[in-house]
Structure 1
Amino acid sequence: MAKQVRLPFAKAIVKSNLRCAEAGEKPITINSLADQAGLAVSAITRLARNDCNAASAPFLDLVGMIVTVLESGIEDLLEVVEG
């Protein structure tokens, strides 16, 4: 089987929110993530549902914006799995 890129999106947000909790900050929501990253909520929803082509430049731009807001690494948001 071919390998695919998957977004363990919920895991990345939970990890970010744990850091927020330790720092005494408010947890991040999908709406606040979209706002801080300058994205539409629908773009984040598409990413969460894996509705994007992982090889496309717009996809990589979106992921870059999200990891910046979440203060995480790309490895927290992308996962390679067997198809």
Structure 2
Amino acid sequence: MAVDDDAPVTLGATVGRPTARFWHMRDGARTSVGEPLDFASLSDDHGARLRFTGAMAGIHAVDLVDATFAADFTAFRRTCW
């Protein structure tokens, strides 16, 4: 997915058990990115032993090509329905 690097873009994920669907928004138009992903066991609570963390969300960016680009995040919002 190519994104214009001189204009802001909104990235998001809609999570509804058992799937997560990623998307980006520009000029009010939301566009899906890829196929829905299995979100049912994205947690350290998955498995035979008792654990406590549950699913987590965060943002992170890495330039894997030549480490010259940076990402500036201006907001992070979680909305529950």
Q: TM-score range by the shorter chain?
A: under 0.3
Q: Given the two structures, how large is their TM-score scaled by the length of structure 2?
A: 0.25
- Report the structure, 1 or 2, having the larger helix content: 1
- Report the structure, 1 or 2, having the larger strand content: 2
Higher relative contact order (CA 8 A, sep 6+): 1
